[in-house]
Structure 1
């Protein structure tokens, strides 16, 4: 092989390797975006670089694989659904208490499913792997809860917190965890 042919083959091999690396990075980024949804953009915005953000998200996936996430038994689902209905009913008379109870109930559910529940940052990081689409709502609800503890939340914020908590609560509980009102109740409430 002549020196020119060796250079051409080397350049071609390097071009193929560079293309493979670009494709590999593209596929990894696309998979992270698909897994984390809006959480991907949030982490990228918070970090110094896209690479640092993607390393963090891959680390979250690695840590999540070490957890044992378990489905709830039918009894547990029914117990949590009933407890959630109590929280919603409590909101009418005591919105501040209902928001605190919603936060506490959701924390218990998170722990029972197998996610960490002690450290809020670790909890949200692990939840982001499986529940990224509702995680921003959970964060907003938790912020309102903290504002509520300081006595600074108004009733509309408290209502919004319960709505946000409900999104992650329903997702963690499974399909149709919160029973819709009976048909007679629905008709009466629309009149």
Structure 2
């Protein structure tokens, strides 16, 4: 074989190895994101025109989250919030719509004390998705019902479901002792 043929074979082999390495790296990234974001991964992919853009958004979320000062709650705060949650649940019997509003405010207060920005609901979802992907749909559903409750368009059963959904995220935020990273 001539030198040119050997060079061509080596170049083709290097290109093939680089392509395989690229595919493996992309698959590892995809698996990491699926594991980290759970059902949120598929929701974001469905919302974007292509998987690459969706995955970049999730990577951007991870980056933003890593820059936040997310911290566990002190024991005293956890006890205070747990007591407040009990009070909110007790109020549900007499004023379900008001209790749902209070539950939303309580979840937001816990988030704020943990270090999450709380100004914008969509940003809250984005920030929570990194460490709390498993309960994110609970939060979305509760928030949606809460919005309908404010317009007097939610049944008592829906309000009860909102409380259950809020409690899922509330418990996770309250008892998490790691940074979720």
TM normalised by structure 1 equals: 0.90
Structure number with higher relative contact order (C-alpha < 8 Å, ≥ 6 residues apart): 2
Question: Please, which runs of 5 or more residues in structure 2 have no aligned partner?
Answer: 177-181
Question: Please, which runs of 5 or more residues in structure 1 have no aligned partner?
Answer: 176-191
**DSSP 3-state at the match of 2:93:** helix
Match of 1:183 in 2: none
Measured after TM superposition, the shift of residue 18 of structure 1 is 0.1
Measured after TM superposition, the shift of residue 73 of structure 1 is 0.7
Runs of 4+ in 1 over 3 A off after TM superposition: none
| Residue 168 of structure 1 pairs with residue 172 of structure 2 | no
**DSSP 3-state at the match of 1:103:** helix
Measured after TM superposition, the shift of residue 21 of structure 1 is 0.1
Measured after TM superposition, the shift of residue 140 of structure 1 is 0.3
* In 2: Cα distance, 1:88 partner to 1:48 partner: 42
Give RMSD over aligned pairs: 0.8
Match of 2:68 in 1: 67
Q: Deviations over 1:141-167 (max 9, x none)?
A: 000000101110000100000000000
Match of 2:115 in 1: 114
| Residue 56 of structure 1 pairs with residue 91 of structure 2 | no
Aligned length: 175
Match of 1:153 in 2: 154
Match of 1:187 in 2: none
* In 2: Cα distance, 1:124 partner to 1:38 partner: 13
* In 2: Cα distance, 1:121 partner to 1:48 partner: 20
Alignment of 1:88-103 (within 5 A): 88-103=89-104
**DSSP 3-state at the match of 1:152:** coil
Match of 2:40 in 1: 39
Match of 2:78 in 1: 77
